[in-house]
Amino acid sequence: MKRTKIAEILRTEPVNTEILVKGWVKAFRNNQFIALNDGSCAANLQVVLDFENTDPALVERIKFGAAIGARGLLVESQGKGQRVEVKATEIEIFGDCDPEQFPLQPKKQSLEFLREHAHLRFRTNTFAAVFRVRHALAFAIHKFFNDRGFYYLHTPIITASDAEGAGEMFRVTTLPLENMPRTENGDIDFGQDFFKRAANLTVSGQLEGELGALALGDIYTFGPTFRAENSNTTRHLAEFWMIEPEVAFADLTDNMDLAEAMLQYVCQYALEHCADDLKILEERLIEEDKAKPQDQRAPMNLTDKLRFVVENQFQRLTYTEAIDILKNSNPNKKGKFQYPIEGWGADLQSEHERYLVEKHFQKPVILTNYPAAIKAFYMRLDEGCEPGRETVSAMDILFPGIGEIVGGSQREERLSVLTEKMQAMHIPEEELYWYLDTRRFGSCPHAGFGLGFERLVQFVTGMGNIRDVIAFPRYPGSAEF
Ligand code: 4AD
Ligand code: MG
């Protein structure tokens, strides 16, 4: 007999048919009622044991965490709390689970503890919900772009370029670390390396994405990216997934419209398709909030927050306008910012972004037209800037509780402006000849952005630490599993 998944069972009417279910024991009461979960959905299925006619040695092995199969009639439930249940005639144990040894317990365990047992945490209701929602969001992103005629482009994971120019790269090499070959002047001789040049893991697929967009029109990437930044925060990973659309013949406004539509679409998708999992996560947050002082509690429930994002336009303003707001803000006047805002040109810290999003506007914010000096070389120089106040057509989307979730820009399509900028920023033109070729041959205005997938999953699930929304987090000092 083929097994039926619990998600499917719960969608059908109880028709007194015989079924086979397989899963893990979540609870076992009165030697009779098993709560079985198979991961296909948040809900458990109640399996009712025929205690009198079951071998006591087998009953003894039905423990929290054990993998079992149950065969029997699917009937309307006699008890409260569930619509259907299985009257088991046959139980099979696939894998015992010794409660003395099993690190997970049928009670609330801290996220920190579970992070240390990340290989088992999928078995908890919270993490199973997080990873089902993560899946749904990934699917929704592909659907969003596919429905709009974007092509999914696979950009390289190993590359010789540093797209962001931030130098936070993991080197990829097969050279012997204990005895590196050297050139005459003592430098490491990458000519003898696997690729005959220095290579690294990608920090972004954007530059390659632009090559695709300037032929295919609309593309997006969705892949792993790597940053060796020593950030031990709840928002940074050394390995994270990024979605990078790139659109030909688009400007900054088109770019903002696309990003806003995408974020609203995926939040709406989660509301429609992940209701049970969002409920589990919302209840977890409500519990967590009870332990906090009133003023630190979330102003909105998880699902209300998602609805708010879907239903309200994001606030759009320029960097210059934001600086004015921040300069005149109470925390700035009262010296409450760790980095006081003194004037135009300063990079915004997360305390400033949080003030704008969570206090001043209380909604998602799109900041545009940042000073050229604090942004990447490929961003388009704005026309008609005051001398000394050059800005670029950049945009960052800031979300409540998350900070920057999206970073993007219109790209510099004018060859001479681009090369001048690269020279000023000491970016070697020879190495990026292929990128510059798009500007030499059939260049056109284009724009794109990068969405940090884990930050999106954090926002939608309400998980406070980014390490809890990726299965096997990589961060400074940790590459377990
Ligand atoms: O702002 P970033 O660095 O932009 C780029 O990489 C551009 N090439 C994107 C583009 O225009 N195509 O990164 C984009 C987003 C950030 O807004 C943030 O959400 C996420 O990626 N991100 C990280 N997420 C987790 N851990 C990290 N260390 C991250 N660094 C960036
Ligand atoms: Mg950024």
CA distance 433 to 219: 22
> Which ligand does the CA of 205 lie closest to?
1
Measured from the CB, is residue 121 less than 6 Å from ligand 1?
no
Q: Which of 212, 114, 107, 225 is nearest to 164 (CA)?
A: 225
Q: Cα(71) to centroid of ligand 1, in Å?
A: 49
Measured from the CB, is residue 260 less than 6 Å from ligand 1?
no
> Which ligand does the CA of 203 lie closest to?
1
| Atom of ligand 1 lying closest to residue 163 CA | 8
pLDDT tens digits, 155-167:
999 999 877 777 7
Q: Which residue's CA is minimally distant from atom 1 of ligand 1?
A: 407
Tokens, residue 165: 């120019």
pLDDT at site 16: 87
Q: Cα(460) to centroid of ligand 1, in Å?
A: 18
Over residues 329-351, mean pLDDT: 94
Measured from the CB, is residue 449 less than 6 Å from ligand 1?
yes
pLDDT at site 296: 85
Q: Residue 245 pairs with which residues in a beta bridge?
A: 220
Q: How distant, in Å, are the alpha carbons of 176, 189, 447 from that of 179?
A: 5, 11, 45
pTM (predicted TM-score)? 0.97
Q: Which residue's CA is minimally distant from atom 26 of ligand 1?
A: 236
Over residues 462-469, mean pLDDT: 97
Measured from the CB, is residue 131 less than 6 Å from ligand 1?
no
Angle at 274 between CA 273 and CA 276, to 5 degrees: 125
CA distance 267 to 271: 6
Measured from the CB, is residue 470 less than 6 Å from ligand 1?
no
Q: Cα(203) to centroid of ligand 1, in Å?
A: 8
CA distance 311 to 307: 6
Tokens, residue 204: 């972004």
Torsions phi, psi of 31, nearest 5?
50, 25
Over residues 323-330, mean pLDDT: 96
Measured from the CB, is residue 406 less than 6 Å from ligand 1?
yes
Lookup result for tokens 């059908």: 12
Say if residue 105 is exposed, middle or buried (CB neighbours under 10 Å; 0-12, 13-18, 19+): exposed
| Atom of ligand 1 lying closest to residue 245 CA | 12
In the 8-state DSSP scheme, what is residue 325? Answer: H
Q: Cα(392) to centroid of ligand 1, in Å?
A: 17
pLDDT at site 462: 97
| Atom of ligand 1 lying closest to residue 207 CA | 8
Q: Cα(348) to centroid of ligand 1, in Å?
A: 15
Q: Is the pLDDT of residue 396 over 80?
A: yes
Tokens, residue 109: 């365990």
Q: Cα(336) to centroid of ligand 1, in Å?
A: 28
The answer to whether the CB of 131 falls within 8 A of the CB of 471 is yes
| Atom of ligand 1 lying closest to residue 409 CA | 11
pLDDT at site 78: 83
The answer to whether the CB of 153 falls within 8 A of the CB of 237 is no
Q: Is the pLDDT of residue 259 over 90?
A: yes
Q: Cα(110) to centroid of ligand 1, in Å?
A: 29
* Percent of the chain predicted with pLDDT > 70: 100
> Which ligand does the CA of 449 lie closest to?
1
Over residues 291-302, mean pLDDT: 89
Over residues 262-286, mean pLDDT: 97
Between 296 and 13, name the one with better pLDDT.
296
pLDDT mean across residues, the chain: 95
Q: Is the pLDDT of residue 297 over 90?
A: no
Measured from the CB, is residue 210 less than 6 Å from ligand 1?
no
pLDDT at site 461: 98
pLDDT tens digits, 59-114:
999 999 999 999 999 999 888 878 899 999 999 999 999 999 999 999 999 999 99
Q: Cα(406) to centroid of ligand 1, in Å?
A: 7
Give residues with Cβ within 8 angstroms of 248, minimum separation 6. Answer: 213, 214, 217, 218, 444, 445, 446
Task: Go through the domains of the chain in sequence order and give each one's CATH number.
Answer: 6-102 (2.40.50.140), 123-168+203-468 (3.30.930.10)
Q: Cα(183) to centroid of ligand 1, in Å?
A: 35
Residue 426 — pLDDT band, cuts 50, 70, 90? Answer: very high
Over residues 243-251, mean pLDDT: 98
Q: Cα(313) to centroid of ligand 2, in Å?
A: 21
pLDDT tens digits, 75-89:
998 888 788 999 999
Helix (H) / strand (E) element for 128: namely: helix 125-147
Say if residue 436 is exposed, middle or buried (CB neighbours under 10 Å; 0-12, 13-18, 19+): middle
pLDDT tens digits, 120-156:
999 999 999 999 999 999 999 999 999 999 999 999 9
pLDDT tens digits, 165-183:
777 899 999 999 999 999 9
Q: Which residue's CA is minimally distant from atom 25 of ligand 1?
A: 236
Q: Which residue's CA is minimally distant from atom 22 of ligand 1?
A: 452
| Atom of ligand 1 lying closest to residue 450 CA | 9
pLDDT at site 77: 87
> Which ligand does the CA of 163 lie closest to?
1
CA distance 131 to 469: 7
pLDDT at site 208: 97
